[in-house]
Structure 1
Amino acid sequence: MTSIGGAQMVDWNLAVATATRLARPGPEVSRDEARAIVAELRRHAKSAEEHVRSFTGMATDEVTDTPVLVVDRPGWTRANVAGFRELLKPLLDKMRDRRGSGPGGAVLGAVGGKVTGVELGMLLSFMSSRVLGQYETFAPATRALPAASGGGRLLLVAPNIVQVERELEVDPHDFRLWVCLHEETHRTQFTGVPWLRDHLESEIQEFLAQTEVDPMTFLERLREAAQSLATGRGEDSGEDAGEGRSIVELVQTPAQREILGRLTAVMSLLEGHADFVMDGVGPAVVPSVAEIREKFQQRRAHGASRLDLALRKLLGLDAKLRQYRDGERFVRAVVEEVGMEGFNRVWTSPNTLPTKAEIGKPMEWVARVHRKTES
């Protein structure tokens, strides 16, 4: 546990406990129903492998090494806290080393770690009821949460999938396979493109290395963001939630904006590709895919309430929604222009990834990458 002056900077265990305590209860299902849902999600995850590889033409020899974990909301929280601890360790070590030795520093660190743990738990409790599935790229393996060698595991959050399929009133079996197609595409991206994980980790660590705020300022900004969740600020105006900025924007420095632009482009590609694949495969294996997509898009766009929209703004989830939309448009335009094989040149190296500008102008990517390779 990274600490400041002997005190934990972030009390991760308290974050998990808080998120677990505050998480909404999942939909009511019997024990037999729960077993059947878990078994079906595992079957769909397995069958989605071949569907995705056949549609995308992406070969991978490592998919079977990546575990599929069907989890509840506390399980999702524990997995993500483990990933956060792994990714943020260099940043927290840097803050510890740079902390001043002023009087009361250890006491402030101890109090700050507890407060930040509680408020991080609040954020995680909000997120834990909304995520349907997730490919964890940097997940450390534990006894309860295994991961592939070098990291990587696929999480399917069963209560959230059941809750959404009931809210949308769609065929549950079709919806479960549809979700698995999206998440399996992410697993194929990382297991089929050997350099992708290291490239993303390098970009993220460079982003974190550019953080210049002192520990107390960083924690204070994080607390301000979390407190706006607790008080409901921003229900009437998105600009009031963290002054209209997401948590990432609250803690970033000007030097990080260029890196964040590159990361945004990569994430737009990955999310848009997954959406394109799930809808491309869908008609052949998910009979009600058109109905599911229409209802799911409406849910994405409108959220559950004005408060939900404000919280999504604060957490940067509105940017995530733009990534789905813009990335899917990019992939669709490129495939229409040069076919799937031509699109797959995007996975050649970091240099063939689209820039943030090219995500919005896919023909510029086609001209750059295909002109270079064909000249």
Structure 2
Amino acid sequence: MTSIGGAEMVDWNLAVATATRLVRPGPEISREEARAVVAELRRHAKASEEHVRSFTRMIPEGHEPEDTPVLVVDRAGWIKANVAGFRELLRPLLGKMQDRRPGGPGGAVLGAVGGKVTGVELGMLLSFLASRVLGQYETFAPATRELPASAKGGGRLLLVAPNIVHVERELDVDPHDFRLWVALHEETHRTQFTGVPWLRDHLKGEIQSFLEETDVDPMTVVERLREAAQTLSGAGRPEGERGEGEGRSLVEIVQTPAQREILGRLTAVMSLLEGHADFVMDGVGPEIVGSVAEIREKFQQRRAKGASRLDQALRKLLGLDAKLRQYRDGERFVSAVVGEVGMDGFNRVWTSPNTLPTKAEIASPADWIARVHRKPES
């Protein structure tokens, strides 16, 4: 994969090894308890299918969408799955960077060193995330011997058992209710992608367009990072004269103008998907999750405060605060639209890329309703 002289641009094996070595151990649990948790999560994932489909009405009656596997994994399994996904998504960008690498032995040596450094950095990032993710629908996941995926180009649902157990204990909530509540959220993501055939390719196209705009010239990247650091620190500017980048994450600031435009569209789509999952989770929850109100309240408090100051700093640096805003803003959008035009009216959002909300419409649901539901002029 993207190598010169045998040196890969990213040492993927080193990324897995680093992340697996650095990730925190999971909660203490006996072998029998672990087996029971895995079996229960699989049952909940299966049961959630019917509940989510009935509530969302995204899957027409009698239609069976593409089947995607449900995998209950540990933290190391989540790391391996995500490295495989990154490798698939970044393939075009790494090929582009390979073309810009100096030729000859010097370029090969630089590539070997750079690939290992990047592998370690990616591993450190994944070790941070691996203990925090409860579940994930992997949209672009390639199938491997250890991690199967759907037959039509990827897709699998991951439930990270040790993290779910850790959070249910931390929140002191009913473990059976919490596991079902998490399964409902992740099953909604699976329903979104299996019930909307064009969504996967659309999202992949946007991500590839974003990557194609990446500046691969090292000096350009260094200059952009320098500007970003100045923006974050406010260096050389008196109070009241700080630029529009103030308050944004480093991830946002280093983007090119074209990337910011694409990122706006991606943010809108991700806000829709995450908000819809939260809306469905809470909509279905009262019927089958007895303690859903307590779970939601405690979980929202946990989301808002973060685990520590270090956790908050890393979330800001990596742009993960934007993820939290996506849940909140997206759910407000879905709730407002369903309240105004009903579930079937909301489901027009899945008609085509043109009916997806813009970033501005996520903040103003009435504008989306006016655009998509406006009556044709007579």
Q: TM-score, normalised by structure 2?
A: 0.90
Match of 1:205 in 2: 208
Q: Which SS does the other structure have where 2:90 is aligned?
A: helix
The CA distance in 2 between the partners of 1:326 and 1:267, in whole Å, is: 10
TM-fit CA distance, 1:102? 7.6
Change beyond 3 A, Cα 1:270–1:43: same
TM-fit CA distance, 1:263? 0.4
When structure 1 is superposed on structure 2, of 119-128 and 107-116 the one drifting more is 107-116
Which one of 85, 88, 108 corresponds to residue 86 of structure 1? 88
TM-fit CA distance, 1:373? 6.6
Match of 1:133 in 2: 135
Task: Please list, as runs of the form range in 1=range in 2, the aligned pairs for 1:1-375 lying within 5 A after superposition.
Answer: 1-59=1-59, 61=63, 65-101=67-103, 104-149=106-151, 150-214=153-217, 246=249, 248-249=251-252, 251-371=254-374
Q: Deviations over 1:88-118 (max 9, x none)?
A: 0000001111223387322221111111111
Q: Deviations over 1:195-238 (max 9, x none)?
A: 0001001111111111122268769999xx9xxxxxxxxxxxxx
How many residue pairs were aligned?
357
Change beyond 3 A, Cα 1:342–1:152: same
Match of 1:237 in 2: none
Deviation above 3 Å: which 4+ runs of structure 1? 60-64, 100-103, 215-222, 243-248, 372-375
The CA distance in 2 between the partners of 1:92 and 1:251, in whole Å, is: 18
TM-fit CA distance, 1:8? 1.4
1:86 corresponds to which letter in structure 2?
E
8 A Cα contact 2:252 2:260, kept in partner: no
The CA distance in 2 between the partners of 1:35 and 1:373, in whole Å, is: 57
Identity %: 85
The CA distance in 2 between the partners of 1:286 and 1:374, in whole Å, is: 46
Q: Deviations over 1:136-174 (max 9, x none)?
A: 000000111000022100000000000000000000000
8 A Cα contact 2:185 2:281, kept in partner: yes
RMSD, aligned CA: 2.2
The CA distance in 1 between the partners of 2:130 and 2:64, in whole Å, is: 28
8 A Cα contact 1:95 1:215, kept in partner: no
TM-fit CA distance, 1:352? 0.3
TM-fit CA distance, 1:277? 0.2
Change beyond 3 A, Cα 1:157–1:215: farther
Structure with greater proportional helix content: 1
Change beyond 3 A, Cα 1:215–1:38: farther
Match of 2:239 in 1: none
Q: Which SS does the other structure have where 1:155 is aligned?
A: strand
TM-fit CA distance, 1:276? 0.2
Q: TM-score, normalised by structure 1?
A: 0.90
8 A Cα contact 1:141 1:147, kept in partner: yes
Q: Which SS does the other structure have where 2:79 is aligned?
A: helix
Q: Which SS does the other structure have where 2:216 is aligned?
A: coil
